Amino acid sequence: MEQKEIVKVEWLDAQSGFSSPLTIEELEREEPLHSFSIGYLLKEDKEKIILGFMMFGDEGMFKHWQLIPRGMIKKIVFLKEDNSDKGKELLHELLKEESS
């Protein structure tokens, strides 16, 4: 299988609820969830991107995948392998951003 790019995608996720009742005013204050995903870029077109996680072997089998509609995407950053100290610092910063 050809080498796939690894990307970090910043996107806004939809949400819905099925819990305690909310007033219209409470619902109007709801916002999309600011989300981040990092994975192999498997497909990209004008409607969507598809990310793959947990690739098995050289066959390109993915146990976990994610389709994100283009309209929900704010930014895509292409990541590259960098084993230098600067690269390790950048990876640490990316993971810290994602957890906050």
Q: Give a yes or no: residue 42 inside a domain.
A: yes
Structure tokens at 95: 């993971």
Structure tokens at 34: 């600011």
pLDDT at position 57:
79
HEC sequence for the chain: CCCCCEEEEEEEECCCCCCCCCCHHHHHCCCCEEEEEEEEEEEECCCEEEEEEEEECCCCEEEEEEEEEHHHEEEEEEECCCCCHHHHHHHHHHHHHHHC
* Domain span including residue 54: 6-99
pTM of the model: 0.74
Compute CA distances 66 → 69, 71, 78, whole Å. 10, 15, 17
Q: Give a yes or no: residue 1 inside a domain.
A: no
Asked if 73 and 45 touch (Cβ cutoff 8 Å), the reply is: no
Q: Give a yes or no: residue 21 inside a domain.
A: yes
Question: Domains in the chain: how many in total?
Answer: 1
pLDDT tens, N- to C-terminus, the chain (100 residues): 678 899 999 999 999 988 889 999 999 999 999 999 999 999 999 999 999 998 887 777 888 999 999 999 999 999 987 666 776 677 677 777 766 6
Q: Give a yes or no: residue 54 inside a domain.
A: yes
Q: Give a yes or no: residue 27 inside a domain.
A: yes
